[in-house]
Amino acid sequence: MKENLIEDRLVRGCRRYGFVQAKAEPLGAGWPDRIVFGFPEQTAFIELKRPGDPEARRRQRAIHAMLRGLGFRVEVAHTPELVERFLTIFNTRCQRQLQQNRAIEATLR
């Protein structure tokens, strides 16, 4: 299986959930392949790997650690199933945050 098939699953899944995704390649070497923007205030980075590829390289692991230290979600997906798992969990977090924001807004009225 090629990495572009996994990437296609991510792109289609983001459209299905209404997320915005973008390639992160302009950020330079070591950065995750894609940034996924959810709602509200949810952002995640995802590194896409071909099945059988080794885990993230040393530079990638360092950037992943930095991003996690800043509070971002960072995932590595080797299969379409892992992409779907990421999207499901990310969507759940987005929906939970949206409900919390609505509850806070309601108390401020």
Q: In this structure, what CATH number is given to the domain that contains residue 99? A: 3.40.1350.10
Q: pLDDT band at 7, cuts 50/70/90? A: very high
Q: pLDDT band at 54, cuts 50/70/90? A: low
Give the total number of structural domains in the chain: 1
pLDDT tens by residue, 55-92 = 778 889 899 999 999 889 999 998 999 999 999 999 99
Q: What is the pLDDT of residue 21?
A: 92
Count of CB atoms situated within 10 Å of the CB of 47: 23
Residues forming beta bridges with residue 22, ordered by sequence position: 35
Q: Which residue has the tokens 């302009």?
A: 26
Give, for 3, the enclosing helix (H) or strand (E): helix 3-17
**What whole-number distance in Å separates Cα of residue 25 and Cα of residue 58?**
17
Residues forming beta bridges with residue 46, ordered by sequence position: 34, 75
Q: Round the average pLDDT of the chain to a whole number and report it.
A: 88
Q: How far is CA 63 from the centre of its chain?
A: 14
Task: Examine the pLDDT at 40 and tell me if it is beyond 70.
Answer: no
- What residues make up the domain containing 20? 3-108
